[in-house]
Chain A
């Protein structure tokens, strides 16, 4: 079961995340689950596979909003980096960052069990 302690241990800035949820723990945890489920669905991977960088940017931007607001810092770092690359369409190895994101997602998902 996901707890704030587990998230703290993982490296999330839980105090900050909670302060954005009016210190409502259950809401915070519910939103983390929603966020992780969404990333796990991996719409970004599908867009990258199709070479649709605009769509990939939209998805990454949305993820960025979620992870930043929830202060999931370890996952926020690759999400932000990838979003900025996609925003400027800077050529690069998007897949590495995409992979980092999925790895972090899997870590958090494992905290839920």
Chain B
């Protein structure tokens, strides 16, 4: 077993030499010179040599070629070896007494000469060893610098060659371009990995054609991601079209996404330049209609801000920099609007940036990296404490809705956590309303429905947030366990936009009503909107018409002044 194992190691394999020589004396001398180090295969004619090479070229380390052979001459054998790409890695040492043949053989690709009469055995062996080592190192280098699938440079060598290009073209405007295949994984799933690999190879060929024609270098950085470093150009759309190879279904072409950092700043290191191209590509991630992103500094500023906010997050939670604001919701079913509840909205009072960071910036960021879970729990606790405070100080119970993010719904301890917060603040479950976005329902809806059902059984009231923003159908209402439907703010805005068209809005309110689900309209700003929504049968209205979101102490005053209108 151990023997087999050691035999299977490349390092344990003896290198093989093909000696093409018809003379027995020469054969025996070479055999004696190399047999301690190499296995020797002998071919006595050019024809025999070519047959052996065609069968065993992958495991031959070197060819020692006599020029004066019976049949096909050595020169012809050398020409054939050099004309077949598969044999290109095979070094050939020519053996001849004819010094005039040296130039011709070298120009045909021979790597070295062994003169006749032969030098001493040790000299022959040393020359062979050196040549084999050189070629193996060259092969290793080639394997290291190339991506095996496409033959393009790999990322590391690409960066080094890009730096070399800069040395020779310091002042030439240059572009850093990245591109990848949109939903490449599904291509592999649909057509198989072999076909996926063919697509990558086709794209690599096209990319190589482009840089061969216009200058520059290209690499496959990993998977379906490619990078180009080339003289500045403006026709990125043309490149993208040229790279969009057929998909294999006979109808479609692959869809590519491209990010361009145009006319790069060469004081930046090469990796940063491609980071910027990548940023530009990310900016068009979900934009199939316009798949080319061009880098501008705002992208970098946004990314730097994002990094800063992520870094500052823990301190913000610890130091209570996140402040909960409350926006009232009014029941408009009666003659007079009646304050029925509020929505908790988080703001960040950053010690250095102040309140300028919009929740529209940090909430999607924290949703993306999972920090939203910690922020949600913080808001739930702060809100519950505030409801409790109002109950104690003002003797009034105001239910407040808090956001439950999609990721929270996968927390196995969600119900215990919410119950714990409610209990710790002496509240009933109906006082902490839970808002779950429509999109959370559409993703893995079976699991979400089950989770929401559980919360409802415990007595929590569920409001479906942002309804109308996602891709859910109205029929969802028939099986979704919810207690209220919040119409998406954008939906309200477009209904009351330049061309007022409230038909869809009205239909949705009526439909919700027919399922016995009250509707909440948010983002309502004018008396006219309130009046129309009320006429349509909307139950609850939230928006600047009644009040902007208020910090808790201002909401205090609001409660005191509006006390008469409370139920």
When distances are taken between beta carbons in the complex, the residues of chain B under 8 Å from A65 are 23, 25-26, 97, 116-117
Q: Chain B CB within 10 Å — which of A23, A35, A65, A70 has the most?
A: A65
Flag whether B32 is at the interface (Cβ < 8 A). yes
Report A56-84 CB contacts with B as 1/0, cut-off 8 Å. Answer: 00000110111011110000000000000
Contact A22 B33 (CB under 8 A): yes
Given A19-B121, A61-B68, A68-B117; A34-B32 close (CB under 8 Å): no
Flag whether A24 is at the interface (Cβ < 8 A). yes
A31 to chain B, nearest CB (A): 5
When distances are taken between beta carbons in the complex, the residues of chain B under 8 Å from A30 are 28
Flag whether B268 is at the interface (Cβ < 8 A). no
With beta carbons under 8 angstroms apart, the residue of B68, B117, B122 that contacts A69 is B117
Flag whether B118 is at the interface (Cβ < 8 A). yes
Q: Please report the total number of A residues contacting B with Cβ < 8 Å.
A: 20
Flag whether B567 is at the interface (Cβ < 8 A). no
Q: Please report the total number of B residues contacting A with Cβ < 8 Å.
A: 17
B247 to chain A, nearest CB (A): 62
Q: Report the separation of the CA atoms of residues A70 and B119 in the bound assembly, to the nearest whole angstrom.
A: 11
Given A31-B29, A62-B23; A68-B116 close (CB under 8 Å): yes
Given A19-B121, A20-B120, A20-B121; A35-B32 close (CB under 8 Å): no
Flag whether B1 is at the interface (Cβ < 8 A). no
Q: Report the separation of the CA atoms of residues A73 and B141 in the bound assembly, to the nearest whole angstrom.
A: 47
With beta carbons under 8 angstroms apart, the residue of A24, A64, A66, A68 that contacts B32 is A24
Report B46-75 CB contacts with A as 1/0, cut-off 8 Å. Answer: 000000000000000000000010000000
With beta carbons under 8 angstroms apart, the residue of A27, A62, A68, A71 that contacts B28 is A27
Given A31-B28, A35-B25, A62-B23; A22-B121 close (CB under 8 Å): yes
When distances are taken between beta carbons in the complex, the residues of chain B under 8 Å from A66 are 23, 25-26
Contact B23 A20 (CB under 8 A): no
Report A9-23 CB contacts with B as 1/0, cut-off 8 Å. Answer: 000000000011111
Chain A's closest residue to B28 (CB) is A31
Given A20-B29, A21-B32, A61-B68; A34-B117 close (CB under 8 Å): no
Q: Report the separation of the CA atoms of residues A54 and B559 in the bound assembly, to the nearest whole angstrom.
A: 120
Flag whether B103 is at the interface (Cβ < 8 A). no
A97 to chain B, nearest CB (A): 18
When distances are taken between beta carbons in the complex, the residues of chain A under 8 Å from B118 are 20, 69
Q: Which residues of A contact B (CB under 8 A)?
A: 19-24, 27, 30-31, 34-35, 61-62, 64-66, 68-71
